[in-house]
Structure 1
């Protein structure tokens, strides 16, 4: 299983967290999404993860994704 980490700006509440998690969960290959509101990060686990599709999903939820977070 692969992991991608993203820094996301604009999230301010639990609804924001749910919106991001729901959109990203729809991306093919995604098995698990963990959104950390205080840190402003999103951890995506799955197989054959498509970075562009994940970024698009976060954008469609209404938030801005920056460069992946180094682990």
Structure 2
């Protein structure tokens, strides 16, 4: 995410299991960005994390659901 992109929003970091390649990374980022109110999502394959920038109306449960619908598991 670029500097200043999420000035008024919030950030959530999810630990995601099951990601092993760039395709996985892109699938999780796409799923998270499709959630209404999400302004950005960046996956770190090495750390197995997804960092999501979003507005205050977005809940952690919405993000978890999006990741799980994409076929991955949120473990933290």
Same fold (TM over 0.5): yes
Aligned counterpart for 1:29 among listed residues 34, 37, 54: 37
- Flag structure 1 segments of 5+ consecutive residues without an equivalent: none
| Bigger Rg over Cα | 2
TM superposition shift of 1:50: 1.4
The alignment covers a number of residue pairs equal to: 67
> Could you say what secondary structure the match of 1:20 adopts?
helix
* Equivalent residue runs for 1:1-71 within 5 Å: 1-48=9-56, 49-67=58-76
Moved over 6 A (4+): none
Question: Superposition RMSD on alpha carbons, in Å?
Answer: 0.7
Q: Structure 1 length as normaliser, TM-score?
A: 0.90
- Flag structure 2 segments of 5+ consecutive residues without an equivalent: 1-8
Q: Structure 2 length as normaliser, TM-score?
A: 0.84
Structure in which a larger fraction of residues adopt strand = 1
